[in-house]
Structure 1
Amino acid sequence: MSAMARLSGSFPAIVSVDDHTVEPPGVWTDRLPAKFRDSGPRVVRAPVKDMSFVGGRFSPVMGGPGDEGPVADWWIYEDLCRPLTRLDSAVGCSRDDVRVEGITYEAMRPGSYSVPDRLADMDVNHVRSALCFPTFPRFCGQTFAEAADRELALLCVRAYNDWMVEEWCGPRAQGRLIPLTLVPLWDAELAAAEVRRNAARGVRAVCFSEIPPHLGLPSVHGDGWDPFLRACDETGTVVAMHIGSSSRMPSTSADAPAAVGSTLTFANCCFSLADWLLSGAFEKFPGLRIMYAEGQIGWIPYILERADTVWRENRGWGGIADRVRRPPSELFARHVHGCFFDDAFGLRNLDAIGVGNVLYETDYPHSDSTWPHSREVAERQMAHLAPEVVERIVCGNAIELLGLTEDGLWPGPS
C-alpha cells in the first residue's frame, strides 16, 4: 500500500486535477509595473444592472453611480467589466439557491480565494492536493488574448503565473496546491518561452484551449503551435484543457436555457479529442501529454472506436494517411487523460478507456462540485473496482502525470 493510502486510511486521499481559484483583488495591482496599475485588472464594487446566461452566452451589465440593483465585485480591465458570480463560488450553498447573480468576496466561501481556508476545505473533503484553474483570466487566459494592449497582456500573464507559483502554491500551501500556469495564446514563441520559464521552477501543467480556432487562433492540425508544443514535450508540461476554454459552451439555440449547455459540457472535449488524435501532433511530439478537465469520461469509448474505424477504413481520402501512423486508440492510451467527478457510466466501462488514462477531480468551488462529499461519491461509483485500480484513479495517475511526490504533494520550485 502506498504512502498516500497509509496516510488516509482505507481510501486514498484525493488528488483533484480540476479545482478553481478565485483570484484575490491584488493579483495584478500588486505585481504590474507602476505605469500599468491603473489599467491592469482591478476590482471595483458596483451594482449589477442586468445579467443573463442564455444560449451559452454570459451577458452582465454593470450599473453606474445612482443605479439600483444588487451589489457585486467587478473585475475591470480595458473595456471588460466582469462581475464575480455565484457560479464562481457555489460550494456551501443550497443547489436551489445557486443562480446567475453577482456577488462580493464576502459572499463567497473563503476557501475560494484564501489558501488557509482552501486547505481546510480540502481536509473536509478528503483531498490531499489540487490543481486549480483560473477564474478572471478564464480557463486558458482568453481574457488576456482578447486584450488590445499586448504589452500589458503579456505582463498580466506573467503576473498571474508568478502569483500562482509563489503565493497560491507557495509555502503556505504546504505542497498541497499544484501550480497551473497560463501562456500568451496570441504568440506561440512567447507561449513556449513562458512554458520554459515556469517549467524551470517546477511547473508541470499549462492551460490551453480545447478548440483554439473558436478564439481566432490556429488549429492543432497545422504547425502554428509547434514552438509551444515542443516546449511542453521537452519540459514534460501537461497541456490542460478545461471545458469552456474555447469561450463557447455547447448549446443548441440562442434561447436554450443554461441547463442544455450544462448537460452537453462534454461535447467540446469530444470534438477536441478528434482534432488531437487525427492531427499528427502526437507523432511529431512523442512525449506530449494532454488532459481534459471536467469533460467526464463516459463518451470516450465510442469516439475511440469511431476514430479507429476512420483511421483504418478512410485514412486514404481522409487526409491523415501521411501523418497519423498508429491507431487513434493507441495514441489516446499513450498521450491523453480524461478527468471526471461524477461519471458512474464511464467507470462501468473503464476497460474501454484505460485505467491509466483516468483522473479524478472535485471541481471546488463550482456548482457542479461534489464537495464536501467527493470521497463518498468516489466510493459509491468505484465500489466494483479493485483497490489498486481505485488508487490509480483517485491519486496515482495524477502523481505520475504531474510529477508529484509519493504522498501526492507538489515538490516545490526546482
Structure 2
Amino acid sequence: MTKIWTNSGDSHFLEPEDVWSSRLPKALADLTPKSQKDPDGEYETVTVDGQTFRRKLPSSAAAQFVDDGHKPKGVRDARARLGDLDKEGVWGEVIFPSLGMWASTFRTPELLKACMRASNEYALEELVPVSERYVVTGQVSTLRVEDALSEIEWLAEHDFKAVFLPTTPHPSAPDWHRDDWEPFWALCEEAKILPAFHIGTDPVDITAGGAGVVYRGPGGAVMNYTETTFSGQRAAMKLVGSGALDRHPNLNILISEGGATWIPFLGDRLLEGYRQHHQAVRPKLSRDPKEILMSQVYASFQHDETAVAAHDAMGYRNVMFGSDYPHMEGTFGHTQKTLETLFAGASDETTLRITQGAFYELFPHVPPVPDSTDVIQG
C-alpha cells in the first residue's frame, strides 16, 4: 500500500498543567483552573477564577478507536509528535491549544489577558521552533476587544500564522458580527493571520452542568456531540452577514472539526434571505453572501462521508481534512484506513485538493508533503 499523505486543519496539544500558574504573579496564578479528582477517578472538582463545579471525567472509551500498541506519544511532547504524524501520514497540521478551551469560563479580564500571553509565549518557545510543519495557533482574550487587539499585534510581531478563536466571544464582549471587532479583522487581514474557530467553544455556565451539556435523557450523548457543530456555523454566518468578510476580501477563516457539507446549504439560506428580504437587509454587500461564504470560509472534517461530495457535487472547494489528533473523535490510529474509505472512487484532483490544496492556500509557508508513493511504515 502507498501512503496517502494529508495535511490537517485540526489537532490539539496538551500544554503543561502549570503553563499559566508558573508564569503569572501569585494573585493571578491562584485563579487559574485547578482540579481535584475523586478517589475513584470518576469525577473531579474544578475551581477556576473563583468558580467551583464538579464534572464527570471522560471514560477510557477512546482506547477502542486506537489500534493496539499504537498510542499517541506526542500529546505533550512536540518532538515525539512528529513520529506519530509520520505513522499516520499527516504532514502539516493546525495545532489548537487544550488549556485555552477554558477561556470562556474566565471572568477577570486581567487574568485571561495574562493567561493568553503566557500560552503564546510557551507556544513560541516550545512548539513553533520544533517544526515548520506545525501551524500553532496563538490565543487572545475575548473578554475585552482592546485586549484581543493588543494580543493580535503581539502575535503578528512574532510571526504567528493563525489565531484560535471561540465560536462565540465571552458573554461580556460584543458578538462577532458587531462593529466593535472591525479593527480586529483588519489587523488579521493586514498581518495575514488566519482566524481559526474551533467548534464546541461557545461560552457555557460551567456551574450548571458542565461544558457541552445541553441535553439530558434519551439521546443526550449523541445530541450534545452534534450540538457542538452548530456554533461553528453561526460564527461563519455572523462574519458573512455582518459584512466583515466582504469588507476584508483577503481575510479567510477556518471552522475546524465542524464538517463541511453545511457550507453550501448555509450559503443557499443566506442568499435566499438576502434576496427575499433585501429591503430590510443591513449592511448591503458587494458580493452575494453565498459567494463570500464559499470562497472565504474553509472547513475541516474528519469522518464525514459527505464532505468529498460537497467538493464534487456542490462546488465547495475549501474542504479540508482534519485528523483531530489525539481526540477520540479523531482518526489517530486509523488515519490511512479513513482516508482510503473517504477517497475511494474520488479523482486524484479531488483527493489532492482536500488533503493538501486547501491547506496550502492558507499556509503556503509549510513545506510540501513527501512523495505520495512513500510506503506505509509498519
Q: Shorter-normalised TM-score: what interval?
A: 0.7 to 0.9
Partner of 2:20: 28
What SS class does the counterpart of residue 286 from structure 1 fall into?
coil
Q: Tell me if 1:231 matches 2:187.
A: yes
Identity within the alignment, %: 26
Partner of 1:259: 222
Q: Tell me if 1:208 matches 2:165.
A: yes
CA contact (8 A) 2:167 2:199 kept: yes
Q: Please report how far the alpha carbon of residue 90 of structure 1 lies from its aligned counterpart in structure 2 after TM superposition.
A: 6.8
Partner of 1:39: 30
**Mapping of residues 10-409 of structure 1, within 5 Å:** 11-33=3-25, 35-36=26-27, 38-39=29-30, 41=32, 46-48=36-38, 68-70=39-41, 77-80=48-51, 87=58, 93-95=63-65, 109-138=72-101, 141-143=103-105, 146-148=106-108, 150-170=109-129, 173-212=130-169, 215-247=171-203, 253-255=215-217, 257-317=220-280, 319-320=281-282, 322-351=283-312, 353-354=314-315, 356-407=317-368
Q: Please report how far the alpha carbon of residue 234 of structure 1 lies from its aligned counterpart in structure 2 after TM superposition.
A: 0.9
Q: Cα deviation per residue 1:20-47 (whole Å; 9 max; x = unaligned)?
A: 11111231244334x4575253766x33
Q: Distance in 2 between matches of 1:347 and 1:311?
A: 28
Letter in 2 for 1:152: L
Q: Please report how far the alpha carbon of residue 207 of structure 1 lies from its aligned counterpart in structure 2 after TM superposition.
A: 1.4
Partner of 1:62: none
Q: Distance in 2 between matches of 1:90 and 1:401?
A: 34
Q: Distance in 1 between matches of 2:73 and 2:16?
A: 10
Q: Distance in 2 between matches of 1:134 and 1:142?
A: 14
Q: Cα deviation per residue 1:153-196 (whole Å; 9 max; x = unaligned)?
A: 212110101111220222xx222322101111122222122112
Q: Distance in 2 between matches of 1:389 and 1:160?
A: 37
| Distance verdict in 2 for CA 1:302–1:328, change over 3 Å | same
Q: Distance in 2 between matches of 1:84 and 1:254?
A: 14
- Root-mean-square deviation (Å): 3.1
CA contact (8 A) 1:210 1:272 kept: yes
**Higher alpha-carbon deviation: 276-285 or 287-296:** 276-285
CA contact (8 A) 2:215 2:224 kept: no
Q: Distance in 1 between matches of 2:82 and 2:57?
A: 21
What SS class does the counterpart of residue 17 from structure 1 fall into?
strand
Letter in 2 for 1:293: S
CA contact (8 A) 2:44 2:57 kept: no
Q: Distance in 2 between matches of 1:222 and 1:37?
A: 30
What SS class does the counterpart of residue 16 from structure 1 fall into?
strand
CA contact (8 A) 1:180 1:203 kept: yes
CA contact (8 A) 2:312 2:350 kept: no
Q: Cα deviation per residue 1:260-315 (whole Å; 9 max; x = unaligned)?
A: 11134322223333222211111222222111111001222221112212222222
Q: Distance in 2 between matches of 1:236 and 1:88?
A: 40
Q: Please report how far the alpha carbon of residue 240 of structure 1 lies from its aligned counterpart in structure 2 after TM superposition.
A: 0.8
CA contact (8 A) 2:311 2:350 kept: no
Q: Distance in 2 between matches of 1:236 and 1:38?
A: 33
| Distance verdict in 2 for CA 1:181–1:330, change over 3 Å | same
Letter in 2 for 1:78: D
Q: Cα deviation per residue 1:103-143 (whole Å; 9 max; x = unaligned)?
A: xxxxx95422122332222122111122222222217x324
Q: Cα deviation per residue 1:5-29 (whole Å; 9 max; x = unaligned)?
A: xxxx955522111111111123124
CA contact (8 A) 1:72 1:83 kept: yes
Q: Distance in 2 between matches of 1:258 and 1:307?
A: 30
CA contact (8 A) 1:288 1:335 kept: yes
Q: Distance in 1 between matches of 2:54 and 2:342?
A: 36
So what's the TM-score if we normalise by structure 1? 0.77
| Distance verdict in 2 for CA 1:336–1:298, change over 3 Å | same
**Structure 2: which 5+ runs fail to align?**
205-210, 371-378
| Distance verdict in 2 for CA 1:269–1:408, change over 3 Å | same
**Structure 1: which 5+ runs fail to align?**
1-8, 49-67, 97-107, 410-414
Q: Distance in 2 between matches of 1:75 and 1:121?
A: 31
